[in-house]
Amino acid sequence: MRTMKLGNSTLDVPVVAVGCMRINSLDKAEAEQFVQTALEEGANFFEHADVYGGGACEEIFAEALHMNNNIREKVILQSKCGIRKGMFDFSKEHILASVDGSLKRLNTEYLDVLLLHRPDALVEPDEVAEAFNLLESAGKVRHFGVSNQNPMQIQLLKKSVKQPLVANQLQLSITNANMISQGFNVNMENDPSVNRDGSILDYCRLNDITIQPWSPFQYGFFEGVFLDNDKFPELNKKIDEVAAQYGVSNTTIAIAWLLRHPAHMQPVIGTMNIGRLQDCCKASDVHLTREDWYGIYRAAGNVLP
């Protein structure tokens, strides 16, 4: 697996992250096989959140990994906090409690990366800074980032937070590519020209923040996958053509499309299917041509101005 630096940190990470939101759908043997396969593929970056499975996903992962000090040094663990029932919470108390809960469930003394999950309208940047300082000084968290945040929200945090924010997890796929389309349609009066996210793609590139695309196979907001979907005949035809050229699956091409972008993104895959996991990892070795990338973009229904 090819590796990259996470943001402006010194942390080397695989270009594909393994999301564990659905690991609670596997039995013990299946979970062990899934985690072992990921490690064999070089995909040792595992992505969690305190709310996944009500915390069960972190516990199941740790059991499947047979976590101990020797194994811990061979994996990179990221988790997220800030979502509570009916609200978002970036208070100092909640961040600290959430991290302690994740550490206990993951059976580890530290997280490599902690992300703030969803923007909290009541966020107090000074409180976040206090929490981050305590977690860093205690050795509980080594790197910090955000999820689903726009540039001004990040700037607001940076007013108080001294640690570099190394990642921003954002929804992005071939069919959910508004942050890319907006860049094509500058000074236009069409729908793709609407700047819905404050130019977050350019902002992250300018500030060395790694974008982690989530739901890289989804269209809409968890409406389903676009691969092999009759709703997207032209897109699937094009992806299949490109996949045949490279001798890989359509799954591989969908991830390779994201990896081809010069922002050096790290897609978070959510599959629990071992075959698809392996196909996603193969994208590390596929470098699409400019013609391939734009051909897929247009086949998704996007029109170049």
pLDDT for res 35: 98
State the Cα–Cα distance between residues 101 and 48, nearest whole angstrom: 12
AA identity, residue 159: K
pLDDT for res 20: 98
Residue reference for tokens 């071992």: 274
**How would DSSP label each residue in 106-161?**
HT-S-EEEEEE-S--TT--HHHHHHHHHHHHHTTSEEEEEEES--HHHHHHHHTT-
Q: How far apart are the first and last CA of the chain?
A: 36
pLDDT band at 75 (very low <50, low <70, confident <90, very high): very high
Pull the structure tokens for residue 197.
Answer: 């996210």
pTM confidence score: 0.96
State the Cα–Cα distance between residues 208 and 160, nearest whole angstrom: 19
pLDDT for res 221: 86
Specify the 3-state DSSP secondary structure of 260. Answer: coil
**How would DSSP label each residue in 64-94?**
HHT--HHHHTT-EEEEEE-EETTEE---HHH
Query: Averaged over 35-52, what is the pLDDT?
Result: 98
Query: Averaged over 258-262, what is the pLDDT?
Result: 98
Among residues 141, 82, 132, 137, the alpha carbon closest in space to that of 109 is found at 141
Q: 242, 291 in Cβ contact below 8 A?
A: no
Q: Work out the mean pLDDT of the chain and round it to a whole number.
A: 97
pLDDT for res 222: 82
Q: 113, 6 in Cβ contact below 8 A?
A: yes
The answer to whether residue 284 scores a pLDDT higher than 90 is yes
**Phi–psi pair at 36, nearest 5 degrees:** -65, -40
Estimate the crossing angle of helix 92-106 against helix 125-137, to 10 degrees.
Answer: 30
The long-range contacts involving 187-193, CB below 8 angstroms and separated by at least 24 positions, are 188/305, 190/305, 192/302, 192/303
AA identity, residue 288: L
Residues 6+ apart with CB under 8 A from 281: 1, 16, 41, 42, 43
Residues 6+ apart with CB under 8 A from 273: none
AA identity, residue 95: I
Residues 6+ apart with CB under 8 A from 304: 184, 294, 298
Pull the structure tokens for residue 105.
Answer: 């469930």
Q: Which of 110-124, 145-159, 177-191 has the least mean pLDDT?
A: 177-191
The answer to whether residue 48 scores a pLDDT higher than 90 is yes
The answer to whether residue 55 scores a pLDDT higher than 90 is yes
pLDDT for res 34: 98
Specify the 3-state DSSP secondary structure of 304. Answer: coil
Q: 82, 112 in Cβ contact below 8 A?
A: no
